[in-house]
Amino acid sequence: MLHQLKQAFTNPKFLVGFVLFMLMLLISLIYPLLSAFEPLDMVTTGFTAPGTYVSIADVANSDGIGMNVDASAGRLASVLKDEDREKMKDWMVRFGGVAEGDIDLSDTEALLEKWQATYDPAVPQKGLRNADKQAFVRLDKDIKAATNSDGLILAAKGEDGLEEVKTIAGNTYVRTGDVVSKIVMPLGADNFGADVMTKLTSSIAVSLRIGLLAGVIATLIGLTIGLLSGFLGGWVDNFLTFLTNIFTVIPSFVILILIANAISGTARSPMLVGLIIGLTAWPWTARSVRSQVLSLRNRDHVSLSKLSGHSLPRIILQDILPYVASYVVMALILQISSGILAEAQLSMLGLGPDTTTTVTLGIMMNWAQKFSAVLGGAWWAFVPVVISVAIITFSLNLMNTGLDQVFNPQLRD
């Protein structure tokens, strides 16, 4: 056994799979501990793009340092998108009386100069809807703010209305480290405003638990049925094989849905879902264990044990189980992987764990679907989840292939 384990770790496929899997496992265990939030904390009010957020009040109150850098160019670039430039040109040509050939969209400075000279919201703008007119007013305001090098005046409400507190020059900067109130959301926030990274890592842990439970149950059932069927033979074998074959053909997905749907709402805890998945996933394991046992049944050491009058449990435990152990481990690995996928599928259909205290990978994807994260462009709410599921199942499959190569030397190339 130790030797086989050593061999497994020299197999590159197994090793890569193992490292990937451990990486995911470690992240899922460690990140929630380090995170400032609970997985379900509503940190913001809805989909929030990934990044570091700093408090505006903190920044305003900081003592800035004057820099000899003109910040307006950068600001302008962010305000003046290509379509805005087109719009400005359009306005100037239609209402400002500027010739089309005089405008060069790529020359920001000249464009702005012309704009400031010609734009006047009071000019009659025939053919423009009110909303469009307002858009130009806003654009003009943005441009003014961006080009303003006089700085901003900060005021507070006083007894006589607004009282000036201080003036912030356009070239004033503050060190990000000096800003006290900061929120880091490497993967942004989801529709509930929860930090995706924290939620994702804690989901991975829950999903892995579901997968493990499902895998263990399916493997135990499959192993028992396979052992009995392969070793006892006769009508027991016929019956069990018949049963196994039937359930390999009827898609387990269907049975899973029927059972999950019948268990109403809140009774479906994550672990119960794992249990149901395990109860429906055993046939493949039973099949492969049976065929292994069949090839073992007539080996000399087993026959010897039988002749020596050893009891059935003893023969199975001592003479059969050690030989099928490697297959069982491989089957377990595959079962964990398909258990995680099954949970995700169920959750997508709304039949996953029904809970308000924990989250699974499937539930996260279900929410992304329900709250149109995809069409809303909130990629951070689903891409990391999908990739996580893929990495976990991929790593498990790699481990399985690696082990297969170790245990079946003829597969080695």
Partner 1 sequence: MKNSDEVMVLKGFIKYYGKRIIWYVITLVVAVFLNFLLPRLMPGDPVKALAIQATQGVTDPSVQQKMIEQYTREFGLDKSMPEQLVIYVGKLFQGDLGVSLGQYPRTVADILGSSVGWSLALQIPALFVGWILGNGLGAVAAYLRKGMDTVVLPIFMFISNIPAFGLAFILIYLFNVKWGIAPSGGGYAFNLIPAFTPEFIGSVLQHYQMPFWTMVLIAIGGQAIGMRSMSIYELNADYVKYSRFLGIKDGKIITYVFRNAMLPQITGLAMSFGTSIGGNLVAEMVYSYPGIGSTMFKAISTRDYPLLSGCTLMITIMVLIANLVVEVLYGVIDPRVKAAQMESE
The footprint of partner 1 on this chain (CB under 8 A) covers a number of residues equal to: 48
Is 316 or 373 the residue whose CB approaches partner 1 more closely? 373
Give the one residue of 151, 355, 401, 407 binding partner 1; rule: CB under 8 A.
401
Nearest to 363 by CA among 382, 376, 378, 336: 382
Is 76 or 263 the residue whose CB approaches partner 1 more closely? 263
Q: DSSP 3-state assignment of 375?
A: coil
Least distance (Å) between residue 257 CB and partner 1: 6
**Interface residues for partner 1 in 18-57 (CB under 8 A)?**
none
216 forms part of the interface with partner 1 (CB under 8 A)? no
Which ranges constitute the DSSP H helices of 148-282?
A: 196-232, 234-249, 252-262, 270-280
Nearest to 1 by CA among 243, 400, 321, 270: 321
Judged on CB neighbours under 10 Å (0-12, 13-18, 19+), 371 is: middle
371 forms part of the interface with partner 1 (CB under 8 A)? no
Give the one residue of 330, 336, 365, 406 binding partner 1; rule: CB under 8 A.
365
Give the one residue of 1, 2, 131, 375 binding partner 1; rule: CB under 8 A.
375
Is 236 or 259 the residue whose CB approaches partner 1 more closely? 259
221 forms part of the interface with partner 1 (CB under 8 A)? no
DSSP 130: H
Is 229 or 366 the residue whose CB approaches partner 1 more closely? 366
Stretch that binds partner 1, among 54-62, 139-147, 221-229, 260-268 (CB under 8 A): 260-268
267 forms part of the interface with partner 1 (CB under 8 A)? yes
Q: Are strands 152-158 and 182-185 parallel, antiparallel or unpaired?
A: unpaired
246 forms part of the interface with partner 1 (CB under 8 A)? yes
CA 353 to the chain's CA centroid: 17
Sign of CA dihedral 12, 15, 20, 21: positive
The CA distances from residue 359 to 32, 74, 118, 341, 353, in Å, are 13, 41, 57, 15, 9
Terminal Cα distance for the chain, rounded? 23
257 forms part of the interface with partner 1 (CB under 8 A)? yes
DSSP β-bridge partners for residue 163: 156
Is 232 or 386 the residue whose CB approaches partner 1 more closely? 386
Least distance (Å) between residue 399 CB and partner 1: 12
74 forms part of the interface with partner 1 (CB under 8 A)? no
Give the one residue of 5, 131, 156, 262 binding partner 1; rule: CB under 8 A.
262
**Interface residues for partner 1 in 334-353 (CB under 8 A)?**
341-342, 344-345, 348-351
Q: DSSP 3-state assignment of 96?
A: coil
Question: Residue 53's CB: how many other CB atoms inside 10 A?
Answer: 15
281 forms part of the interface with partner 1 (CB under 8 A)? no
Q: DSSP 3-state assignment of 172?
A: strand
The Cα 216–Cα 281 span in angstroms is 10
Q: DSSP 3-state assignment of 10?
A: helix
Stretch that binds partner 1, among 52-60, 94-102, 119-127, 364-372 (CB under 8 A): 364-372
The Cα 19–Cα 34 span in angstroms is 22
Is 5 or 375 the residue whose CB approaches partner 1 more closely? 375
Least distance (Å) between residue 8 CB and partner 1: 18
- Residues engaged in binding partner 1 (CB under 8 A): 245-246, 248-251, 253-259, 261-264, 267, 341-342, 344-345, 348-351, 365, 368-369, 374-375, 377, 379, 382-383, 385-387, 389-390, 393-394, 397-398, 401, 410-411, 413
